[in-house]
Amino acid sequence: MSTCLFWSNGLVRRPASACVADVSDSDVALVTGLDIQGRRWQVWLHLDVAAALLVEVPEDMDDTSLWITTPEFEQALTQQRAALDAEVPADAEGALMWASAGGVQPLAQQPRIEELLRGHETFVEELFDLLLDELGFPEATHSAPKS
């Protein structure tokens, strides 16, 4: 499942900033933002789950279920999680720059965005919504279906 956001300040007709969250089972999301200048930022939400997805399975391992029970997997998982966590400050900065380029004033400062990027909300969709809120994007209004 993917959740998309396209933002335009509505004052002029021009391309909009875009943000897509590629969500998997409400457990993990890869969020990608693109501004009107073509600059892109990307971040994982639910870093523990993302780290487990990103750990490479050794080529000689035929059964992945055996791999995840080994100390080598735990070590690789710890290293991958640390690598993702080390990227959080730059990811938060990229998200804030994207929001500013989209013509909105972020509500939060970088430490709050970093906190969200390290968050463990029950559902990753809720974390994505919180991130967009803190970046200053107003909640979309939905009109009632016309009968």
pLDDT the model gives residue 138: 66
Would you say 77 and 91 are in contact if contact means Cβ atoms under 8 Å apart? no
* Both tokens assigned to 54: 């990103």
pLDDT the model gives residue 93: 95
pLDDT tens, residue order, the chain (147 aa) = 555 554 444 444 445 678 888 999 899 999 998 888 888 899 999 999 999 999 998 888 888 888 889 999 999 999 999 999 999 999 999 999 998 888 888 889 999 999 999 998 779 999 998 999 899 886 644 334 444
DSSP type of residue 146: P
Residue 59, helix vs strand vs coil: coil
Which residues are 45's β-sheet partners? 29
- Cα–Cα distance between 9 and 78 in angstroms, integer? 42
- Cα–Cα distance between 28 and 30 in angstroms, integer? 7
pTM higher than the cut 0.85: no
- Cα–Cα distance between 112 and 68 in angstroms, integer? 33
pLDDT the model gives residue 18: 84
Residue 20, helix vs strand vs coil: strand
- Cα–Cα distance between 6 and 18 in angstroms, integer? 4
pLDDT the model gives residue 19: 85
